[in-house]
Amino acid sequence: MQPYDLIFNKRNGGTLQPEEIEALIAGYTQGEGVTDYQMAALLMAIYFRGMNEDELGHWTRAMLHSGVVLEHPEIAGAKIDKHSTGGVGDKVSLSLAPLVAAAGVYVPMISGRGLGHTGGTLDKLESIPGFRTDLPIERFKAQVAELGCAIIGQTGEIAPADKKLYALRDVTATVDCIPLIASSIMSKKLAEGLDGLVLDVKTGRGAFMTELDQARQLAETLIAIGRATGVETVARITAMDQPLGRAVGNALEVVEAIETLRGKGPDDFLDVVLTLSAEMLRLAGVERDHQAALELLQGLIDSGAAFGKLREMVSAQGGDESVLDDLERLPRAKESFDVLAPESGFIHVLDALVVGRTARMLGAGRKAITDAIDPVAGLVLERKRGDGVDKGDRIAILYARDHSLFEPAAHRFLSGLVIGEAPIGEQPLLIDRIA
Ligand code: URA
């Protein structure tokens, strides 16, 4: 295999053969025979030329097999996971994993950290004192088999090709390329050893894919990879124009996720949790009728079974389960600041990207993956899109350790708020389903 020839071929619109892809990914991951500059050139060629469905399947499979692929011989039931393409206030995994496990489905979830304006499940969970997201793989597998769910971070053993390729894409302007995004996501998720996968592809101002047609294209590409690798995959496209739920920020989002499993969550958040969970139950064969699945799941919240499963998961992963009974025991900011409506009217825009950036300014997010985050930082929205407000009404409460952050953060927040005179209609949250 001569990398030059393969770059030349792809640059000219040719197709890479399965054995060429395998040799490229293996050589690059092991640092043998494929240099960074050759892979960078190839990624750029892929950026412009794309990959057909076969190439993409082989590319993803090669990335997947660059590391450990989990097997769960001790689990007889279906292993199903959910992946979100990321957004603001998206704490779905925290409520969904225990809820779906309470329905008898096994959820081996390997999650990520927040970057940029988006939050990450691991950062949120780590605001529970003692909670460990770095369980060794064997303990992770044992917990899934025993309790039905576990959430950990990616280890060096899972899809190492993606780690190297992602770092290279990051510095060569090749991140925003649908086949490369899709293979990156699927190589990590498929390494969990799944029978089915539900995707939450976000679209709108605060999403990776701001336009609906891009989101659809990404969903279709992800599903095609699922098909090529024999894992049934279904996607929901959901709105991310404004934050999901009311809380944005790590410990604040944990509170909202816990409240939701106690039956007191915000409607929009609950809607997304239940819809995605119902898709998981369908893939697992537990309940194939969507409405019946929603009712079953609501029953598991009402009975306390889902909350009980969350308690088991927190305890098994070393977290202080007393926070579940007393939310005051979670880290809390000493300082807060009210953002008031600058005029009367109806909220037309509550820009998720701006809100995410505001939370990051307060300390809830990072600029680089090595930055520390502040678990107490963030904000809680008291009003959302479509709500009527009078001038001076409180729209959001900001939280931070350092009160000097409040003025600039409030200024940033207000730059993403549009109040109009006329009432506006609801925007659909569940935009499409692609299977
Ligand atoms: N998330 C991933 O895991 N990979 C990408 O390329 C983009 C988002």
- Indicate which residue's Cα is closest to atom 6 of ligand 1: 181
| Rounded Cα–Cα distance for residues 366 and 351 (Å) | 19
- Per-residue pLDDT band for 64 (boundaries 50, 70, 90) equals very high
Of the chain, the percentage scoring pLDDT greater than 90 comes to 93
- pLDDT for 368 equals 73
- Computed over every residue of the chain, the mean pLDDT equals 96
At 80-133, the pLDDT tens digits run: 999 999 999 999 999 999 999 999 999 999 998 887 888 899 999 999 999 999
Say yes or no: CB of residue 207 within 6 Å of ligand 1.
no
- Per-residue pLDDT band for 272 (boundaries 50, 70, 90) equals very high
Statement: residue 421 has pLDDT above 90: yes
DSSP type of residue 263: T
Statement: residue 198 has pLDDT above 80: yes
Which range is least confidently modeled, 159-163, 274-278, 394-398, 416-420? 159-163
Which of the residues 111, 184, 187, 277 is marked catalytic?
184
The residues, ordered by sequence, that sit 6+ positions from 291 with a Cβ below 8 Å of its Cβ are none
Token pair of 268 as six digits: 């929009």
- pLDDT for 405 equals 96
- pLDDT for 370 equals 78
Whole-model pTM over 0.85:
yes
Site to probe by mutation for ligand 1, drawn from 184, 189, 218, 222 as the one with most ligand atoms within 8 Å of Cβ, is 184
Q: Determine whether 169 is an active site residue.
A: yes
- pLDDT for 216 equals 98
| H/E segment holding residue 394 | strand 394-400
| Rounded Cα–Cα distance for residues 272 and 239 (Å) | 10
- pLDDT for 117 equals 86
Q: Hey, is 109 helix, strand or coil?
A: strand
Q: Determine whether 93 is an active site residue.
A: no
Residue from 240, 249, 247, 242 nearest 124 by CA: 249
The bridge status of strand 430-434 relative to strand 196-203 is unpaired
Statement: residue 36 has pLDDT above 80: yes
- Per-residue pLDDT band for 367 (boundaries 50, 70, 90) equals confident
Statement: residue 397 has pLDDT above 80: yes
- Indicate which residue's Cα is closest to atom 5 of ligand 1: 181
Residue 180 CA: which ligand 1 atom is closest? 6
Statement: residue 353 has pLDDT above 90: yes
Locate all alpha helices (DSSP H) within 264-350, ordered by sequence. Answer: 267-284, 290-302, 305-316, 322-325
- pLDDT for 371 equals 80
- pLDDT for 366 equals 82
